[in-house]
Structure 1
Amino acid sequence: MHIIKLSATNSTNSYLRSLIADENLNDFTAVITQNQTSGRGQMGTVWNAEAGKNLTFSVFKDISGFYLEHPFYISMVAALALIKTLNFFGIPKISVKWPNDILSENKKICGVLIENVIKNNKMTASIIGMGLNVNQTEFENLPKASSLKIITGRVFSIDEVAITIINNLKFYFEFLKAGNTAIIKNEYVNYLFRKNKPSTFLDAEGCMFSGFIKGVTNTGNLKVLLENNIVKTFDLKEIQLLY
């Protein structure tokens, strides 16, 4: 695997995207930085990480040879690769807070930002950005954040964690390329945070309502069982899961 290490960059996703424009990259080329100055998350949120203590990186995946009807499967693959990695390192009670935040118990330890590359109206590649809290122990004004060190008391090799994630991405992308989408989706749904538990949500108008998470659609919408016994689907802009 080809890993590019940077002391600092504004965004590993942006850096990787600029490389794609200039050259043909090897599959699973990764860019890792000690300090990401303008890290981004889902829906335009900002990802802040203490320099040198966390894993902030992006991975290039060539999907030109895939038959991929629903791009959300890339998000599922990324989440499962992270879960497999965290299980390997002994992190307990892992779940996916839809669509792809990774939690240990109810504390967020990882965020994912996926940006797809489209050429001639066809998706040819994906840039999978991940921010994983590894050895940072203080998160000012972020009571719902945690890290591998806080959870286990151990100091982790960031390089070892990164290589393990990349290998697990390779594992799940082989499943995806072979068309084993049902296996991927079933495993992802089994890890959904608060699945089948009474939960409170906030809609786009700011109104709260209750329901039970039942799963996701192939396009990535969340399936929620409402009080009137009807299952309704919501996309990312329509709903927010409250703790």
Structure 2
Amino acid sequence: MTIIKVNATDSTNLHLKRMMLGTALEDFTVLVTDSQLSGKGQAGTVWNSEPGKNLTFSVLKQFEKLSADQGFSVSMALSLALVQFFRELNIPQLAIKWPNDIMSGNKKICGILIENTLKGLMLKHAILGIGINVNQDNFFGLPNAASLKQITRKTYQLEPLLNRLLTLLEAVLDIDQENIENLKSDYESLLYLKDQKALYKIHDEWVEGFIRGTSPEGKLRVETAESKQIQCGLKEIKYP
């Protein structure tokens, strides 16, 4: 593992990709910053983070055993590792809001941006961007966001948290064919609002239904009140 620390950058994912243009980085190279100026979430959303109060970093993970259509297993493994990490901190009511936001109750405490690179029919590597709300006190304009400090009333030292999480990630990201099914079962058991009736906006239409799980490609499976099966990709579903 190589850990690179920078005071500030636009985006840890972008910074790591720029580094890869000029040099061959080893597996599990980690780029950490105190201040991420233009952090990105899924599908182009913005990740807001106060400098010095949160964990914002990206990890380069190389793969040899996964096919291109198994890329979602990386998201599942990463999400489950983060849930384990938060459990160790006694964060309550943990769930995974598809595809990979980590929730405590109805508050988002962690976001992930995964960017996969393919080589032919195989997954070559992934850049895993992770943002965890740790000691931030205010999330202006983001009513569904919260920090670990707000939830537990504790102030955290960032470096020990980072070191523990990286140890967990190293252990779980060596994914192979044999453990993908177990990943899927564990991941789906933690899905936010799973099997609860709710009103969702799907393909610009409000639908009453139930989240049932994920497809083999990683799309979200929703069953409507009329028993119709719908699969949703990014930005195709809006939660209540």
Give the TM bin, normalised by the shorter chain.
over 0.9
Q: Distance in 2 between matches of 1:46 and 1:234?
A: 21
TM-score when scaled to structure 2? 0.95
Query: Mapping of 1:65-76 within 5 angstroms?
Result: 65-68=64-67, 69-76=69-76
Unaligned runs of at least 5 residues, structure 2: none
Q: Distance in 1 between matches of 2:142 and 2:90?
A: 23
Query: Mapping of 1:158-237 within 5 angstroms?
Result: 158-174=158-174, 176-177=175-176, 179-205=178-204, 207-237=205-235
Report the alpha carbon displacement of residue 216 of structure 1 after superposing the two structures with TM. Answer: 0.5
The size of the alignment, in residue pairs, is 239
Report the alpha carbon displacement of residue 186 of structure 1 after superposing the two structures with TM. Answer: 0.6
Query: Mapping of 1:57-206 within 5 angstroms?
Result: 57-63=57-63, 65-68=64-67, 69-119=69-119, 122-174=122-174, 176-177=175-176, 179-205=178-204
Q: Which residue of 2 aligns with 1:44?
A: 44
Consecutive aligned runs of 4 or more in structure 1 exceeding 6 Å deviation: none
Report the alpha carbon displacement of residue 95 of structure 1 after superposing the two structures with TM. Answer: 0.4
Q: Distance in 1 between matches of 2:198 and 2:83?
A: 23
Report the alpha carbon displacement of residue 171 of structure 1 after superposing the two structures with TM. Answer: 2.0
Report the alpha carbon displacement of residue 120 of structure 1 after superposing the two structures with TM. Answer: 5.6
* Letter paired with 2:220: L
CA contact (8 A) 2:66 2:177 kept: no
Q: Distance in 2 between matches of 1:29 and 1:95?
A: 28
* Letter paired with 2:11: S
Report the alpha carbon displacement of residue 121 of structure 1 after superposing the two structures with TM. Answer: 6.5
Q: Distance in 2 between matches of 1:218 and 1:165?
A: 27
Report the alpha carbon displacement of residue 232 of structure 1 after superposing the two structures with TM. Answer: 2.2
CA contact (8 A) 1:54 1:133 kept: yes
Report the alpha carbon displacement of residue 133 of structure 1 after superposing the two structures with TM. Answer: 0.2
1:145-199 residue CA offsets vs partner (Å, 9 max, x unmatched) = 101111111111212222222222222223x225311110111001100001011
Computed over aligned residues only, the root mean square deviation of the Cα atoms, in angstroms, reads: 1.4
Q: Distance in 2 between matches of 1:165 and 1:130?
A: 11
Report the alpha carbon displacement of residue 233 of structure 1 after superposing the two structures with TM. Answer: 1.6
Q: Distance in 2 between matches of 1:183 and 1:121?
A: 23
TM-score when scaled to structure 1? 0.94
Report the alpha carbon displacement of residue 237 of structure 1 after superposing the two structures with TM. Answer: 3.4
Larger fraction in strand: 2
Report the alpha carbon displacement of residue 122 of structure 1 after superposing the two structures with TM. Answer: 4.5
